[in-house]
Amino acid sequence: MRKPLLLLFLFFFSAAFSKDDPSVKVPRVFKLPAGVAEKDYLPNTIIIKFRKGISASEINSATSLLGSNTLIRRSASLVEVSQLFKSSLQAIRTPSAIENRDTIGLDRVFEIQFSSKSGVERVINEALENPLVEYAEPSYIYYTSYVPNDPFYTSFQNYLRQVKADQAWDVIRNSSGVIIGIVDSGSDLDHIDLKANTLFPGKDLVGRSFSNMQEDNDPDVKSDSTDHGVRVSGMASAVSDNGLGISSVSNNAKLLIVKVGSDDNSKAIYRGYEGIKYAADNGAQIINCSWGGPGGGAYGQDIINYALAKGCLVIAAAGNDNTLSPEFPAKYAGVMAVASVDNLDRKSSFSNYGPHVSISAPGEVFTTANGNRYVTVRGTSFSAPLVASAAALVKSRFPGFDMTQVKEQLRVTSDNIDANIPGFTGLMGKGRLNVFRAVTESSPSIRYQKITSIDKGNGSIPPGDTLKLFFDLKNLLSPASGLVVKLSSSNPDVQLINTQVNVGNMGMKEVKTMVGPFLVYIKPGISDNEEVDFKLSYTANGNYSDSETFQFKVALDYLNIEVNQVSTTISSNGRVGYSGPEASNGLGFIYKNEQLLYEAALMVGNSPTKVSNNARNNSGGTDEHFVKKVRVNRVDDIKAAFTARSEFNDEGNPDPLDLYIKHSQTAFSAAPDDKYTIAEYEIENKGTTVLSGLYAGLFVDWDIDPFGRDVAKFDAVNRMAYVSGKAGDTFFGAVKLLNQDIAPAFYPMSDQISGDLLQTNGGFSIAEKYQSLSSGIKAFSLGEESPNGYDVKYTIGYGPYTIPVNASIKIAFAFIGGDNLSDIQASARAAQIKYNSLMKTDQEIPADGFVLRQNYPNPGSDQTIIDFSISETAPTSIILYNIMGQSVRQLVSATLTRGAYSINVDLSELEAGIYVYKMRYNGKEKALKLLVGK
């Protein structure tokens, strides 16, 4: 069973990215798009795409119909599983690896039918918990939008003269070598004005009813009420010059009819995306989609990418709701979206609009109907096939053009109608279709291919920075001379400084790289991770004018780390892998192209009621206690391939510990240090009392096995917690403790175990977080005792610590990816050696006694830092004296544990002169001079 899609008919994303890679990243938490209701998707049905490289046996286990499925077992029972693009499901039920038949991976797409009292969102979100799943989404239904047939014309086909088809026919009127795929409700195979242009056999992918879909080779409509596709067919290629009925722009292009609606529903399109693939696989160069709806996901974009890769032009109706809200497939990257105008080139009252629209065309027209009839109709459903018909004529006129060039030829030769559409400039495409210009004129078509950015934040593009943008441009059509490129934006949070570049000349299909720089000042106060809309405008040849829009994310509160065999992200709030909750804003932790991490969040606490953190909580969300103070920024570091730092405090906690934390993350490119990154936190006590009994660590959720069948273990020798798949033959993910001077904590858990810490309160409470931090080694493993393992998580950390006022401690972790246990153990040893070497010069801990270091800067004016280290737990004090030997300030007075410490000393209220700070520890003392200059 599959896809009802909306018959739009009123009857009726230095850093670089490529716009040629329109892949869609799906969030791990699914919510129905705005405007989508139950009527907009098939009941008890979802579409799932499994990730690349899985085995057939794994899918068989996950989707077992015997009640043991591991895909949606909590929220639903499986009823039927269908592999959409293989000849039979039996092919996947064999113990062999899935063969990748195409670069998009459509052979990994399955339709899942289930029985459940839960809503579709809950079922999808359970499926998304499984890292085997690339995406999961509803099986969207789309609908026709029919408007009564009010006649607007005195002669039925004035719209053909409006788009200058009659003049184009004086140049060319034969497009018989072009195939237009009509993916719709079917067609009238015996219609006197369609039959000669219709290819046989077509395909019916639905049959009589969507409740019992049956494919066959008869795409003929069975009733007048379902003849939307007949009307679309006439617009695309009614037979011309036959003395009967109507004419079409294409004259005699061939129609491949792909029926994707049922005989018993006049408005629903159930298998539209499957129909697009069928048309692409069976010779269609142009694929018309006069349907749509608000639901758009990764599956539809996959299908569009597949068709584009096959060299097809996909044309879609923009929609008939008179709204800026986009519909799909019209909104998908690579699709030519068509809006509707009336006979006076005004926006049709019903037509959708937006920056994604490519072109406009008349949508109030006269066309074929079922049973050798003709009818007046209105809708973007008919604007789209009019453009498809023109595309066929252009392809015949310029046979050397690829379909991207055909699309651009239609677009750049369209007539400017801005004067007729006040309020909609830039939202109805470049202009209204002009077929005569399309088959006679030569024009450049400049489109950007890639954007490169340079900023002082080395990728974070912070507020107050001036961003440099460079563009790789391609001229798809005729040569351009004197090309000028301008950049603009209406966003008040940015200011454009250098807005114009003179490019010069560009030949057909020529590419110019790094055109720029364009300078963009990011104003203070802009929101984190804000998407800014920009417009690129092009002028050339004295008469060529064009533009396109794009979005660019600025003021990032995270930076991606991609310099060795693992890829991850440093945030501005202490998280590793992502800066946002629910695996958002970041890479996670990737090893050999496999995503292994869902969450890694810092937690610091000293009582069951006092834990500052940004981990998941027991209210269905996350505690967002850590607040950015210094945005993450990459820094030059000759010792490492990548180092970045950020700073934050815990002012977001209603009951804060008054912490100020400096976070750094470091990665190395050469073996044996190329399978890990080091995350270090310097935790400072900014309160007015000593912090004692303090524990600090990370809550980590690895997703190694595709089905959540993992085992967590603690390697005491290497002080490392790791996760691997219970069944073996998986990668390993690990976190290693790099501080050797404090007791470790390891607390494995799983919400699949009755009475587990994550299950008792429906989540992870403050008290439970403190328990996981302060219980030492709770267990050395979890999941080994279970035949299938568990979806395991763990807390790993250190404690207890005592931190004096204005003093700080440092804790560090290595995040490791590897092929097996010995691999990650080797990386763990390498990480320890590397960290020791990095720390040796400034924070070496003595074997016996203590070390007091000279303050820095010295002299200081407003502030200075004093570092010291102690070998064991003992009472420790540091007192500041003036030159007269009088006590000025007690800096430290506490029983401290073994470790390295730093104290920030405020000098702002001290007079200039010479001071002495004296440390007493375990019956010994040492004094050093401190200079204050003003």
Classify residue 257 by burial, with Cβ atoms within 10 Å: 0-12, 13-18, 19+.
Answer: buried
Parallel/antiparallel/unpaired status of strands 744-749 and 691-702? unpaired
* CB-based contact 224:266 (threshold 8 Å): no
Closest C-alpha to 917, from 885, 883, 886, 881: 881
Helices (H), 677-799: 766-774
Q: Please, which residues bridge with residue 258 across strands?
A: 183, 203
Tally the C-alpha atoms within 13 A of residue 683's C-alpha that lie toward its C-beta: 29
d(CA 809, CA 251): 79
Q: Which residues are catalytic?
A: 184, 228, 381
d(CA 531, CA 534): 10
Structure tokens at 17: 């990215």
Q: How far is the CA of 256 from the CAs of 113, 237, 285, 771, in angstroms?
A: 30, 11, 10, 66
At 399, the amino acid letter reads P
C-beta atoms surrounding 362 within 10 Å: 26
Rounded to the nearest 10 degrees, the angle between the axes of helix 272-281 and helix 298-309 is 10
Parallel/antiparallel/unpaired status of strands 899-906 and 807-818? antiparallel
Q: In what order do the strands lie in the sheet with 597-607?
A: 610-613, 597-607, 691-702, 793-803, 744-749
DSSP state of 690: -
What's the N-to-C CA distance of the chain in angstroms?
79
Residue pointed to by tokens 């078509």: 445
Residue 658 has φ and ψ, to the nearest 5°, of 60, 55
DSSP state of 89: G
What is the b/e burial string over 309-318, where b = at least 16 CB atoms within 10 angstroms of the residue's CB?
ebebbbbbbb
Residue pointed to by tokens 């391609």: 474
Torsion of CA 648, 654, 658, 662, to 10 degrees: -20
d(CA 709, CA 694): 33
Angle at 583 between CA 582 and CA 587, to 5 degrees: 170
d(CA 879, CA 447): 68
Structure tokens at 589: 């932790």
C-beta atoms surrounding 493 within 10 Å: 17
Closest C-alpha to 411, from 462, 352, 335: 335
* CB-based contact 277:379 (threshold 8 Å): no
Q: To which H or E segment does residue 538 belong?
A: strand 530-540
Cβ neighbors of 38 (< 8 A, separation 6 or more) are none
d(CA 31, CA 111): 19
* CB-based contact 38:140 (threshold 8 Å): no
> How many residues can be counted in the chain?
934
What is the b/e burial string over 636-650, where b = at least 16 CB atoms within 10 angstroms of the residue's CB?
eeeebbbbbbbbbbb
* CB-based contact 359:433 (threshold 8 Å): yes
Parallel/antiparallel/unpaired status of strands 887-896 and 874-882? antiparallel
Parallel/antiparallel/unpaired status of strands 41-50 and 691-702? unpaired
Structure tokens at 480: 């351009």
Structure tokens at 106: 């459509």
